[in-house]
Amino acid sequence: MEDAIVLYPSAGMGHLISMVELAKLILKHYSLFSIKVLVCASPSISPDATTKYIASVSTTTPSVVFHHLPTAPLPPDSSLKVEQLAYELSCLNNPNLRHALRTILETSQIKAFILDFFNDVAFDVTDELKIPTYYFYTSSASSLTVFLYFPTLHRSTKEDFKDIKKLPEIPGWSSFPASNMPEVLHVRNSYIYRRLLESAEKFTKSKGILVNTFESLEKRAVSSLVEGLCVPDGHTPPIYCVGPLISTNEITEHECLSWLSTQPSKSVVFLCFGSMGMLSAKQLMEMAIGLENSGHGFLWVVRNPPADNTKQSVSGVAEEPNLDELLPQGFLDRTRDRGMVVMSWAPQVAVLNHDSVGGFVTHCGWNSILEAICAGVPMLAWPLYAEQKMNKASLVEEAKVALPLDELEDGLVSAGELEKRVRELMESDTGKQVRERILTFRNEVGPSMEKDGSSVTALAKFIDQIQVSSVA
């Protein structure tokens, strides 16, 4: 029987890409393993991008074999938040997962089952089948310290996080205001709060946690994790920092890349908020004014506002935006020589690695952060949802590779704030220091992924661990 490693990403391109890059890394150094990726389809997410991506990977890396689970039906309540929807779909997929794993076990010995954070209910299935189970944490080590410490925080207070100004000291952080906690955790009796509490406890029962980061980027957080400080009353599984794992299947031809080639070196600010982030019409208007007044070049990816026009939202599907309605009258004409607006999507990795790009306004999604670090592009941090406020704090206060964008009381980032921060990043000594700092980290990425580098060494330790584990 062949030795197999099975990977189980949650629905969504960002999670799939990170998991596939992990598969490629394993195969690069340990080609004798059979790698199988279980694809969890979601009826709420357009399958086109996923299908194209999988086809591309299957062509370039045929050793990565994809197994498509049947599409689970959407839960009856279609108004569920994204996080709750992800958990519900994972629960509904457990019977399909059980069948897929039993089929694989007929011809393979599963040395390790690596599951995504949002698919943690799969732990019940793998425990039943006695398959060694590991987690792949696709965000920062800094946010992982908070997640693992979450049960301790829960026991330390009876109050909702929204009613607490300052939390008790959290390992890996000099200070951590309660406002940095994801909004879904602000109320103790919410569904997501209870689910994440259960998830944090399940993490400690796994065989290990692989993290998409590299040690030198998050020294303090990694040290706290490895020393077991984040689970003071229990066991911390082995921590394997195997990143940065970012997409290598990137488009190199796009109209925005041709436009960038007409701009001076390091002159353009790139603004992009991921595949799920959407901003209100009022916020888009403020951004346009701020960008125009900054005087700097920009490449801006604009998506339609959310249906309820709240300040921010997340969505997997959106119609093309009507720029004439969303932007100030004459904005596109006045900024034609130094600015470009792209509707809905741009090839982010290629853009960040273009010589003309000198700054990145980001929603602080971890994949985007790693892509910016690998490209050596300093950031303006503008978190929207999930753990992104934690990522912002880590970028600004610990790594010092970003400047903050501060919100008003109503959650809006004003035109004046955006103008000020763009100028600061692109013109000031402070911006120069941030640029030099991120270039230092960029230069550490290569060595970490080479033989005897920290991430490859961590991968070797993981492989050693799974060699002594097997299906009972």
Q: Per residue in 14-66, pLDDT tens?
A: 889 999 999 999 999 999 999 999 998 765 566 778 888 999 999 999 999 99
Q: Which residues pair with 208 in a beta bridge?
A: 134
**Bigger pLDDT: 87 or 457?**
457
Q: Report the b/e string of 162-178 with b at 16+ CB within 10 A.
A: eebeebeebbbbeebeb
Asked whether the predicted pLDDT for residue 7 surpasses 80, the reply is yes
For residue range 269-319, what is the model confidence (pLDDT) as tens digits?
999 998 788 999 999 999 999 999 999 999 999 999 987 666 555 555 556
The closest alpha carbon to 395, from 427, 362, 428, belongs to 362
C-alpha pair distances (Å), 363 with each of 53, 119, 389, 424: 23, 23, 9, 18
Domains 2-243+449-467 and 255-445 share a fold: yes
Q: Rounded mean pLDDT of 133-138?
A: 97
Q: What's the pLDDT score for residue 165?
A: 84
Within 8 A by CB and 6+ apart from 19, the residues are: 7, 8, 9, 37, 114, 116, 136, 138
| Residue 442 one-letter amino acid | R
**Contact between residue 238 and residue 330 where contact means Cβ atoms under 8 Å apart:** no
Q: How is the chain split into domains, by residue range?
A: 2-243+449-467, 255-445
Q: Is residue 185 scored above 90 in pLDDT? A: yes
Angstrom distance (rounded) from CA 417 to CA 407:
8
User: How far apart are the C-alpha atoms of 402 and 408, rounded to whole Å?
Assistant: 19
pLDDT at 471 over 70: no
- Helical H segments across 6-46, by residue range: 13-29
Q: For the chain, how big is the Rg over CA atoms in Å? A: 22
Backbone φ, ψ for residue 280 (5° rounding): -65, 160
Q: What is the pTM of this model?
A: 0.94
Q: Which two tokens stand for residue 65?
A: 């074999």
pLDDT tens-digit series, residues 229-269: 999 999 999 999 999 999 875 677 899 999 999 999 999 99
Instruction: Write the CB contacts of 259 (distance below 8 Å, at least 6 apart in sequence).
Output: 299, 340
**Do the strands 277-279 and 312-314 form a parallel or antiparallel pair, or are they unpaired?**
antiparallel
The answer on pLDDT for 148 being more than 80 is: yes
Homologous superfamily of the 2-243+449-467 domain (CATH): Glycogen Phosphorylase B; (3.40.50.2000)
Tokens 């109050």 locate to: 159
Neighbours of 30 (CB within 10 A): 17
Find the DSSP H helices in 30-167.
47-60, 82-105, 122-128, 141-156
Question: Which whole-number Å values give the CA distances from 345 to 277, 300, 302, 314, in the listed order?
Answer: 11, 10, 8, 15
- Strand, helix or coil at 411? coil
- The end-to-end CA distance of the chain, in Å, is 14
326: tokens are 């969303």
How far, rounded to the nearest angstrom, does the alpha carbon of residue 430 sit from its chain's CA centroid? 27
Q: Report the topology of domain 255-445.
A: Rossmann fold (3.40.50)
Going by C-alpha positions, the residue among 310, 306, 314, 86 that lies closest to residue 191 is 86
**pLDDT band for position 11 (50/70/90)?**
confident
